[in-house]
Amino acid sequence: MLVRDAMSTVILTVGPAHTLRQAAALMSARRVGAAVVLDPDAGGIGILTERDILNSVGLGQNPDTERTHAHTTTDVVFAAPTWTLEEAAGAMAHGGFRHLVVLDHGEVAGIVSVRDIIRCWAPAREPAPAL
């Protein structure tokens, strides 16, 4: 199975000037663990994860004043839609992260998470037998 079969194509994007609270509210509303940060001034495409927000709050920083650009990972590992899920899982395990931005011809095409891969690999849940 390929990354294109597992990735989400509806992507949450935020800008570098969003506050962490704004980003967290958007991520919560969309029920996603990461947002793509589009910042042409800082190299283009970055990623902000729930862990980045948690780390900031854990340090006592104010989520109403902290901006996403200060917490965005810009050294992003990108996947291609034609990667196998094994390749994507290997990149995640090697890099210690849970999300990959998927690029197709230089454009953001989706995002794939560990959860997406598990859904593809795990057998469908069977309903519990009635007692």
Residue 68 DSSP class: G
On the question of pLDDT at 121 being above 70, the answer is: yes
On the question of pLDDT at 64 being above 80, the answer is: yes
Q: What is the mean pLDDT of residues 14-39?
A: 95
- At residue 44, the pLDDT reads 83
Across the chain, mean pLDDT equals: 92
pTM of the model: 0.85
Q: Are 18 and 74 spatial neighbours (Cβ–Cβ below 8 Å)?
A: no
- At residue 39, the pLDDT reads 82
Tokens encoding 28: 């919560």
Q: Buried (b) or exposed (e) across 36-55, using 16+ Cβ within 10 A?
A: bbebeeeeebbbbbbbbbee
- At residue 125, the pLDDT reads 60
Q: What is the mean pLDDT of residues 19-37?
A: 96
On the question of pLDDT at 41 being above 80, the answer is: no
